[in-house]
Structure 1
Amino acid sequence: MDYVNPSDVVESMVEAGAKKAKLPVHQLLVRGFLGAALLGFATTLAFTFELQTKIGMLGAIIFPVGFVMIILLGLELVTGSFALIPLAVMEKKATVSEMLRNFFWVIIGHIIGGIIYGLMIYVSITNFGQTFENPLTQKIIAVADVKTNGYATMGADGLLIVFIKAMLCNWMVTLGAVLAMVSKSTAGKIIAMWLPITTFFGQGFEHAVVNMFVIPTGILLGADVTIIDWWLWNQIPVTIGNLVSGFLFTGLALYFIHKISAKKKEQPQEVHERLKKVSF
């Protein structure tokens, strides 16, 4: 059958996390670079759909193309790894230092990929800085402003809001990474992944890797946003929020349901088998 049992999916999550933790630095950098660039492509495509149709949800429906390409090609997306690698650590198939090494170098790759794709989009939609009339230009500037100054105006409340939006986002994104494992067919994987990714993007939640493209690109295009604004009011709280929800609501929750609970059910049976062996 094409469908994979959830308990087997959890085993696959642990194995995937272990493999990611062992990747060498150059692999993490290149895979992270490509992951961020592909999400950049997906973001500008989604914005273009929205601008052409005036229907925001159409952009959300098309955005998962980037996520699908990343997963099918075996690239790195740190937000997905937030749910997977900690499980490998819990199962002693990876170490904490290996997990942190993965997170660090993949994020570096993401930043490079997001900025380079941003530079290329800048050249493309402004004719190398000669015109800023393209609607996509103004859209990116507006999004970058909302994602930073929009929260800054609310002070501490803004930090809490962006953190919660990041948690809501990666709850869905990590489910997308996991649902790719519930099917053995390419078509099944694509359909399963599409559902949660559309859900997060359509509601305007905060994704750390998308923001590594859209905010620096907005700054490049002229948004009234500083590097400090980017990191203080968005990138740092969003990354932490993505990590917390990815681990708690997807990784740990599914591990508890299908791994720990299964072990508890097996124990009485194991005792029964031992008693049978020693009975007269």
Structure 2
Amino acid sequence: MSENEHNNNEATVEEEQENKNAGTTIESRTNPDRPGRQFYIPSQIVSEFAQKGKDHLSKPFRSQFILALTAGSFMTFGALFSILLAIEVEVKGLYHLLSGFGFAAGYAMVFISGSVLFTEVNVLLPTYVFNAMEKQKNILKFWFSAYIGNIIGALFVAVLIQLSSSLSNSFYTELSMYLDKKMKFLDHGWIGWFQIVVSGILANWLIGMAAFLTTAARDLTGKILGTTLPVVLFVAGNFQHSAANMGYFSMGILSSDKYEWYEFLLLNLIPASIGNIIGGAIFVSLIFSYAYKDDIQTALNKKE
């Protein structure tokens, strides 16, 4: 081996060691969009949100609506699993943990499949609008179609579950208890309506952070873990998340006459949805877009 080759090899080893100590690899230098670390940094995450929002808007309407249907379906599966895991569990901490873990399965399917969930859209579209600095048509149409598609998808799975007759009486007893928790605000009158709005803000703030952590992860295990932690928290806190409630309510409408459909819609889903929009758009999209504005604009300029 010549002296020059020996020196080059030593330089390469030293360079790789320096990159490793800095938390990066050669890959991150040659391809900035694939960092050597095992997660994306916050400014990259916000940029990914904006890109996902743009990608959703660019899809044909039929694709948007189909993906909204699948997301709603996954919400009912998540609601189903959250109840099944917690049946007859007496220890409150374990009860909340298992319920949240069960519902996280639905969210994992949504995030990883690229389905269109109304409450995730509350984060992605505002992020795109805040950073793209350009007018986009059909944003409200897409938002509305995501909402309606989620409801239809949730009801579709609930009908299939009911027709299957697969579930025991203990499941429906537990479901009734879940519905009572979701509808407890009825006892507070109009104050309860505004309490649901505030609870919805907290719920979508957490779901926005679930999307944040899931986007940050670069492997499947990290994405599932990132999804699970905030979901467990919002389920345990009984925060009103409209997409999640669609799953519970769709099964409740078909199995019980304790609450009317208009009570679910007008006295829970609508105020929860208003809070969800505020929580996702302001407490996740706007805050992080503003905090990392310079980094995001630098990245956008490089792409141009």
Q: Which residue is equivalent to 2:292?
A: 258
Indicate whether 1:56 and 2:95 are aligned.
Answer: yes
Equivalent pairs, count: 258
Aligned with residue 132 of structure 2, among 92, 105, 115: 92
Indicate whether 1:69 and 2:109 are aligned.
Answer: yes
8 Å contact kept, 1:47–1:136 = yes
Q: Secondary structure at the match of 2:101?
A: helix
Aligned with residue 165 of structure 1, among 194, 199, 218: 199
Q: Secondary structure at the match of 2:292?
A: helix
Structure 1 position 38, deviation (Å): 1.1
Q: Which residue is equivalent to 1:8?
A: 44
Alignment of structure 1 residues 32-47 onto 2, 5 Å: 32-47=68-83
Structure 1 position 52, deviation (Å): 4.4
Q: How far apart, in 2, do the equivalents of 1:145 and 1:187 lie?
A: 34
8 Å contact kept, 2:100–2:228 = no
Question: Per the alignment, do residues 226 and 10 of structure 1 end up closer, same or farther by CA in structure 2, a change over 3 Å counting?
Answer: same
Q: Which residue is equivalent to 1:268?
A: none
Structure 1 position 73, deviation (Å): 1.0
Aligned with residue 210 of structure 1, among 216, 227, 244: 244
Q: Which residue is equivalent to 2:272?
A: 238
Q: How far apart, in 1, do the equivalents of 2:297 and 2:143 lie?
A: 30
Structure 1 position 18, deviation (Å): 1.0
8 Å contact kept, 1:145–1:225 = no
Structure 1 position 3, deviation (Å): 1.8
Q: Which residue is equivalent to 1:114?
A: 154
Q: How far apart, in 1, do the equivalents of 2:46 and 2:296 lie?
A: 11
Q: Which residue is equivalent to 1:267?
A: none
8 Å contact kept, 1:125–1:137 = no
Q: Which residue is equivalent to 1:136?
A: 171
Query: CA offsets, 1:220-257, max 9 Å, x none?
Result: 21232122211111011011110001011111111111
Percent identity over paired residues: 23
Q: How far apart, in 1, do the equivalents of 2:224 and 2:249 lie?
A: 28
RMSD: 2.1
8 Å contact kept, 2:120–2:207 = yes
TM-score (norm 2): 0.78
Q: Secondary structure at the match of 1:76?
A: coil
TM-score (norm 1): 0.85
Q: How far apart, in 2, do the equivalents of 1:46 and 1:173 lie?
A: 16
In the alignment, residue 110 of structure 1 is paired with which amino acid?
Answer: N
Query: CA offsets, 1:109-153, max 9 Å, x none?
Result: 1111111111122223478xxxxx6111122233334433x2222
Structure 1 position 158, deviation (Å): 0.7
Question: Per the alignment, do residues 118 and 93 of structure 1 end up closer, same or farther by CA in structure 2, a change over 3 Å counting?
Answer: farther
Q: Which residue is equivalent to 1:105?
A: 145
Q: Which residue is equivalent to 2:60?
A: 24
Gaps of 5+ in 2: 1-36, 299-304
Q: How far apart, in 2, do the equivalents of 1:71 and 1:154 lie?
A: 35
Could you say which structure has the larger radius of gyration? 2
Question: Per the alignment, do residues 69 and 215 of structure 1 end up closer, same or farther by CA in structure 2, a change over 3 Å counting?
Answer: same
8 Å contact kept, 2:44–2:296 = no
Q: How far apart, in 2, do the equivalents of 1:164 and 1:29 lie?
A: 28
Q: How far apart, in 1, do the equivalents of 2:204 and 2:134 lie?
A: 22
Q: How far apart, in 1, do the equivalents of 2:40 and 2:80 lie?
A: 34
